[in-house]
Amino acid sequence: MFHEHQFPCLHCQPHDYIRMVQHMIERCLLFHMSRDDCVKALEKHAEIEPIITLTVWKELLKENKAFFQQYFQAISRAVQQ
């Protein structure tokens, strides 16, 4: 069965779909968004199911612990100012 999509499809191209979600999360990080803000933005603007965003986020967090520790510290300082 062939499906034609504008973007990668989770069912047809799961690897490409997950990579696309990862890139979208990385863009959210450039805008200093929290995890919850990122989940909401991807759901609203890209129709990505929250469970998928959360799963990819969790894997990125596992792979990049030091980065995320610094990231969370930076955005918490920005909120305090």
What is the 3-state secondary structure of 43-72?
HHHHCCCHHHHHHHHHHHHHHCHHHHHHHH
Residues with Cβ < 8 Å from 45, sequence gap 6 or more?
none
* Domains of the chain, residue spans: 14-80
**Residue 9 near residue 48, CB atoms below 8 Å:** no
How confident is the model over 3-60, as pLDDT tens digits? 555 677 787 889 999 999 999 999 999 999 999 999 999 999 999 999 999 999 999 9
Q: Are 8 and 20 in contact (CB under 8 A)?
A: yes
What's the predicted TM-score (pTM) here?
Answer: 0.82
